Amino acid sequence: MTLSNPSLAVSDPIQTELNLKRIYRRITFRLIPFLMLLYLVAFLNRVNVSFAALTMNSDLGLTNALFGIGAGIFFLGYVPFEVPSNFMLAKVGARLWLTVLLILMGLVSAGFAFVHTSSAYMIMRFLLGAAESGFFPGVVLYLTFWLPASVRGGLMSLFIVSVPLSTVVGAPLSMAILKMNGIAGLRGWQWLFVLEGGLAIVVGLMIPKVLADSPKKANWLSSQESTWLVAAIASESRATTAHASWIHLFRSRTVLGFALGYFILMIGLYGLGFWIPRILTSQGLPVAQTGWMTALPYVIATVGMVLWSRHSDSSGEQTWHVVLAFLAAALGMYVASVTHVVAISVAGFSIAALGICSAMPLFWAVATEHLGENGVAGIAVINAIGCLGGFVGPFWMGWLVDRTHFFSAGLLAAAITLALGAALMYGLSRPAPSLSALQI
């Protein structure tokens, strides 16, 4: 990247580039590990119901369809509050708003321990979605304050690696907590919600001590370094400031196209994530081994997504990296759909998880580059519409299982959908046009 902004002028342009790379490394070490921890805890509280379901469903009288609907209802609570939440973060700052969100989601998650009916389960899933709604789009927006698009893809992968890592850590942890059944009169699945919800509250209280709202407020950057950083971001991309009106984004083909792409990706992510433990136990895997076998695909995905994003950054190519990731996800779902053998299913899930998780950081790197000045609302609109796929994926899996008594139909439907998503992403991942020229 050659910087022409006069704010970056120094006697040696090469030295300027080296200085910026040094600043990017410092941001990586100061922000990304903690953001990863926050997202790991948030995502764990989002999907821990998949492990609780192994014993909770019979206690609450939940059928596969009801469980799938409840898992997906999270996103019906998630969607309406995302755009307002992103504006709130931009107004009051990331430290305060992310703290509020983590504490709220921890309180709601812990509240699942006191659910005794299927109706209460549905209501709590909706409330958990509302509490978490602003977290992920808020962090995506937060990173645009700190990093230019040219380096954001790789660092986004380090943040989004928390998605598979939450299962790598959470699967064996959740299975261990389930063994606390009977302690203090609580069922194992109740302890699961209490302890993992409490963890969200603890890390939420740490946020004000760790995060700075922007480079200019970071006491670990000099005034010159923060000036260089802000100028580097401004020189590469259009400002990501909030507009007073964001309704016009729902008429933008660019925004709606990316929202559809994310919708498809979320069908794959949650159609897989909420059901792997149930699928493996239905194929005869002992419950005691379910945690580790569920974690294995996400171990592979954790390593693969980082390497894939780095390869994209180093090659400067994003289109085919996104497309091939979608295709890998489709292939993995197909493999899992045509077998009832645990080992082959785990192999298919591994390919699918690798593809889905590798696509996520690249998707957001491409999308934010295309949004330009509509970044604040555009990120939230794409995430809000796209996350409805998180309702569709678990719902249709549960619905199809109750009618066919097999998981194959749902997995095959997800495979076809992801293949169509690859074609869509090929069309979207082109040089960014003006949004004003792409109104419906």
pLDDT, mean of residues 337-349: 94
**Amino acid occupying residue 278:** R
Query: In whole angstroms, what is the distance from residue 417 CA to residue 414 CA?
Result: 5
Q: Which of 5-19, 47-61, 273-287 has the lowest mean pLDDT?
A: 5-19
Residue 329 in any domain: the answer is: yes
Average pLDDT over residues 48-62: 91
pLDDT at position 8 over 80:
no
pTM beyond 0.85:
no
Q: Which residues contact 393 (CB under 8 A, 6 or more apart)?
A: 72, 266, 267, 268, 269, 270, 271, 272, 274, 414
Q: Which residue did the predictor score with more confidence, 183 or 287?
A: 183
Q: Quote the CA–CA distance of 196 and 173 in Å, as a whole number.
A: 10
Per-residue model confidence as pLDDT tens digits over 201-259: 999 999 999 999 888 888 888 888 888 787 877 766 544 444 445 566 777 788 889 99
Please state, rounded to an integer, the average pLDDT across all residues of the chain. 84
- For residues 364-392, average pLDDT: 77
What are phi and psi for residue 285, nearest 5 degrees? -70, 130
129 falls within a domain: yes
In this predicted structure, what is the pLDDT of residue 434? 45
Residue 194 pLDDT grade (very low, low, confident, very high; cuts 50, 70, 90): very high
pLDDT at position 439, please?
44
Q: In total, how many domains does the chain have?
A: 1
pLDDT tens digits, one per residue of 384-424: 788 889 889 888 888 888 888 888 999 999 999 999 999 99
Cβ 45 vs Cβ 106: under 8 Å = yes
Task: Quick: pLDDT tens for 297-319.
Answer: 999 998 998 899 888 878 888 88
Alpha carbons within 13 A on the beta-carbon side of 86: 31
Which residues, listed in sequence order, are joined to residue 252 by a DSSP beta bridge?
439
State the SS3 of 261-276: HHHHHHHHHHHHHCCH
Residue 440 confidence class, pLDDT cut points 50, 70, 90: very low
d(CA 214, CA 230) in angstroms, rounded, equals: 9
The answer to whether position 440 is within a domain reads no
Looking at 111-115, 209-213, 252-256, 267-271, which range is the least confident one?
Answer: 252-256
Q: Look at residue 3 and tell me if it is in a domain.
A: no
- Note whether residue 8 is domain-resident: no
Position 241 in a domain: no
How far is residue 91 CA from its own chain's centroid? 23
- Taking the C-alpha atoms of residue 385 and residue 214, their distance in angstroms, rounded to an integer, is 28
Domain-embedded: residue 148? yes
pLDDT at 179 over 70: yes
Q: Residue 150: give the domain boundaries.
A: 13-232+252-428
Widest CA span of the chain, in angstroms?
71
Q: What is the CATH number of the domain that holds 185?
A: 1.20.1250.20
